[in-house]
A and B are shown apart, each in its own frame.
Chain A
Amino acid sequence: MSSFLSASIGRKFLMSITGLFLISFLCIHLTLNLFLTFDDTGTLFNLAANFMATNPFIRIMEPLLALGFIIHIIWSGWITLENMRARPQKYAYGDQLLSWWAPAKNMFILGFMVLIFLIIHISNFWIKMKLTGDPLLKDVVVDGVEMHNAYALVSNLFLSRWYDLLYVAGGILIGLHISHGFWSAFQTIGFSNQIWLKRLKFLAIAIGIVFAAGFSYIPLYFMIKF
């Protein structure tokens, strides 16, 4: 098994599986976050956040998600390093086939920027909710249940125009990363052929746009409305 995980296809297989797992997490994350824009009293979002914080299945998935992120990040670094070693001498007149900004060519850089965003994002919310606490999180009672006022924490952060723009950028970066990563993952696990290649590439761009638009919409909503 160890030879599999260090072989070129094995390493990529691990990237694909963790990548698809992270995409499935992002689907849930985006759906719940959109509740922020459905109800300006924050009740709906607080209910959703409380459900996520107390649901036993989600509690089990949380460490798995962290593991998924860690593997995806470490293996991407390993693969990139090995790939750089495969061409010690670069071309003087670089590759002219794909545009310089093509996500396919910049997955590591895009991923690295998403990682920086992720660290800021975690320190903005997860650390405050789970570890340090925050005065804004003061408990509210919804339908007789006491819960954190997660909405207050989010809406307060989005009062800052800088954070709004940062979160728009974060959404776009994730969208770009997925616009290649989604079809690439299926290609690597072997689920692709002449016909499905076109379908998967189309789907990847569509999903990338949905994530970019969806995640950007939330800070933009707060930016325009408040």
Chain B
Amino acid sequence: MADIILNKIYVKVWRQNSPKAKGRFETYQVENVSQGTSFLEMIDILNDKLIREGKDPIAFDHDCREGICGMCSMYVNGHAHGPDTEVTTCQLHMRKFSEGQTIVVEPWRAAAFPVIKDVMVDRTAFEKIQQAGGYVSVNTGGVPDGNVILIGQDDAEEAMDAAACIGCGACVATCKNSSAMLFVAAKVSQLAKLPQGKIEAKKRAKAMVAKMDELGFGSCTNTGGCELACPKSISIAHIARLNREYLSAKLSD
């Protein structure tokens, strides 16, 4: 199939010099973009043009560019990771856009994810939640045989589904309450379904939820937006499990 070239598109992007600075939108014109180009490559082309013009390039997070590192946090045309399903921004392609279109690019908007520069946000809050309880106890000594602990297929599958979370923050960005419940639910769920996670189960749910509250994320009102935006399609059924884990831990206090 012949490659289709977008002769002209407009990128209306959030520019903010530093965390404290006042941000504003700026619109740039980008020419001759192949629809086979990835969204980040299009930003690279734009940045190249800005550098050649002596302007400050757009700061954005990116790393693996294959949809697993969860770095490329961009809110494109009202969608976290852009108008495509089950992809991160790096896996979004220009075929999702049309000739002459204005593409609005914003950073994740949440009090807990402050903007560092332009569309780059600080997602350290997720690390802090993870550090509060997202770990398991292990025995020291020799490497244990992987087959010693038997785990049912269904449990293993469900734990793996939750473990697919890459911590990109699309759930927080999409949620109208900036709630991190899907992230915390995935991190609690992946361990709650496995025998290895049982030791800290009670402590984990309480500690991670307390940290989430402390960092200024909102409460979950079950709109389900997070599940739709999640590039890994993590189900909100995991949120029900987190609620169960949390409530039973609180009851046994």
- What is A's interface to B at a CB cutoff of 8 Å? 4, 7-13, 79, 82-83, 85-98, 102, 104-105, 107, 180, 183-184, 186-194, 197
Contact = CB atoms under 8 A, between A and B. Distances in A.
Contacts of A90: 109
14 contacts: A83-B176, A83-B219, A95-B225, A98-B228, A104-B224, A180-B222, A184-B221, A184-B222, A188-B220, A188-B222, A190-B244, A190-B248, A193-B241, A194-B235
Contacts of A96: 77-79, 83
B178 interface: yes
Contact of A190 (B209, B217, B218, B240): B240
A8 B213 contact: yes
B126 interface: no
B86 to A, nearest CB: 13
A86 B111 contact: yes
A12 B181 CA distance: 12
A104 B221 CA distance: 8
B178 A87 contact: yes
Nearest to B115: A89
A188 B248 CA distance: 13
Given A86-B112, A194-B237, 14 more contacts: A8-B219, A13-B243, A79-B219, A83-B177, A83-B221, A86-B177, A86-B216, A86-B217, A92-B104, A104-B223, A105-B223, A190-B240, A190-B241, A193-B237
B244 A94 contact: no
A13 B251 CA distance: 13
Contacts of A107: 221
Nearest to A104: B223
Contact of B209 (A9, A88, A91, A98): A9
Contacts of A89: 109
Interface string B204-244: 00000110110011111111110011000001110111111
B75 interface: yes
A9 B103 CA distance: 37
Contact of B218 (A9, A82, A189): A82
Interface of B: 25, 75, 77-79, 83, 104, 106, 109-112, 174, 176-179, 181, 209-210, 212-213, 216-225, 228-229, 235-237, 239-248, 250
Contact of A91 (B106, B177, B181): B106
Contacts of A197: 235-237, 240
A133 B145 CA distance: 79
A9 B247 contact: yes
Nearest to A193: B237
B109 A91 contact: yes
Contact of B246 (A9, A94, A102, A105): A9
Closest 6 pairs between A and B when the two form their complex, measured CB to CB = A190-B244, A86-B218, A96-B78, A83-B177, A192-B240, A86-B178
B210 A7 contact: yes
A7 B213 contact: yes
Contacts of B104: 92-93
A82 B216 CA distance: 9
A9 B242 CA distance: 9
Given A86-B112, A86-B216, A187-B239, A97 B225 contact: yes
B78 A93 contact: yes
Contact of B222 (A13, A92, A187, A194): A187
Nearest to A16: B243
Contacts of A92: 25, 104, 106
Given A92-B25, A96-B77, A192 B228 contact: no
B222 A85 contact: no
B11 to A, nearest CB: 13
Contacts of A186: 240
B155 to A, nearest CB: 13
Contacts of B243: 9, 12-13, 187-190
Nearest to A76: B221
Contacts of B181: 8
A87 B223 contact: no
